[in-house]
Every structure is written in C-alpha cells, then in structure tokens.
Amino acid sequence: MNTTGKPILVGAYGRTSTTGKKQDPGLQLEELRQVADQRGWTIVDEYVDAGFSGTMDRRPALDRMLADAKAGRLGVIAVFKLDRLARSLPHLLTLSENLACWGVGLVSIRDPGIDTTTASGRLLFQLLGAFGEFEAAIIKERVIAGVRRAQAQGKHCGRPRKDLELRPALAMLREHRSLRDVAAILGVSRTTLRRRLQEADEWPVLPTEAA
C-alpha cells in the first residue's frame, strides 16, 4: 500500500507471443489493475506487445514504455511476470540497470520478492546479476577450452576460411600489380592474401617485394 501520500505513477506492461483468444494480454492487465488499486498506485498507461516474442529486445510498446520511464513519466513499471518483460537474464538485468539509473522501480506481481522499490527486492536482483555474471564466465571458459582443444587437434577455429584461388593472384602480382590492388580485385583483405601466399610458400612473389 502507498503510504507516502504521493501518487506512484505506474506503467503496466503486458505481452503475449501470439494473438487471439489463446493468449489474452487483457488477463495480465486486469490483475495488474487490481494490484495497483490495492497498493494505491496510479496507472499512467498500459503498454501491450501482442504477438511479440520475449526474446526480442526491441518491441513497440516496450520501447515506448522505456522512453516514458527515461523521460520521468513513470515511477514504477509493473509486469505480470518477469518473462513477460524479458526471456533472457542479460536482457532483464540490462533493463533493470537502466530503470535504476532513471529512478524507476520494477515490480513483478507473480514473482515473489521481485520489487526493486524495496531493499529486499533490490538485493534479490543483485543476486540475479551475480548469477548471470557467473554463468557468462563459465560459458566463456568452456568456449575457450573447446577452442584450445580443437586447435591442438589441428582444427580451424573462428570464421570459415574463404576459398581463394592463388593462380590469378600470382599472375597479377608478377605483372607488378600491388598487393592491395590484387586483394581488392579478389575481394579479400591484403593481410589474408599475404597469409595465404605465405602458407603456399609463394611469398614474396617478386624478389623486391616487401612483406
């Protein structure tokens, strides 16, 4: 319940992945209205993205709501569940950090404890952020270890190697065309062309050619 005496200006956000009767954002908004009435909130606007996946970082209503929050028109953003707002932890944490910078709270009425307008709610979000950073670090370590194992086995890692026919390159270079021009004609970088020539033991092409 609002005991400050000042109106708490709320943006109510709803989202469904599909449109139609199977998923009705109105049900989410109705519950948000009931909670707002119980807590003494004033709903400034209702923002609804119908037919948008939660994996999409940019959505029309979400973008409009964030713009209103940044402009100081909202004091709290209320959602039915956190997965209505974002499906990934990194996206959710980014949204939360932006809202915190703008002085806007985040409340999820179906996720116990998710209320950044309270000290315990902020603590819970900090723990979520710590877990997110830990997960990202573990994934990074696994990727690096996998790349090193593949390299040790002689496998190529990184971007796929572009097929490059060296005979035209050699012919043009022997006509005293510059490495830069030949690389541009073949559609590769100068570094890539020189490396491929070195791997084929064809560099330098001319005795006077600089590496």
| Torsion 20-35-97-81 (CA) sign | negative
- The label of the residue with tokens 């950044």 reads 116
Contact of 125 with 119, CB cutoff 8 Å: no
Query: Of 17, 88, 96, 120, which one is the catalytic site residue?
Result: 17
Query: What are residue 16's phi and psi, to 5 degrees?
Result: -130, 150
Cβ-proximal residues to 188 (8 Å cutoff; 6+ apart), any chain: 162, 164
Cβ-proximal residues to 27 (8 Å cutoff; 6+ apart), any chain: none
Please confirm, yes or no, whether 17 is among the known catalytic residues: yes
127: number of Cβ within 10 Å: 10
Give me 83's structure tokens. 């997965």
Active site residues: 17
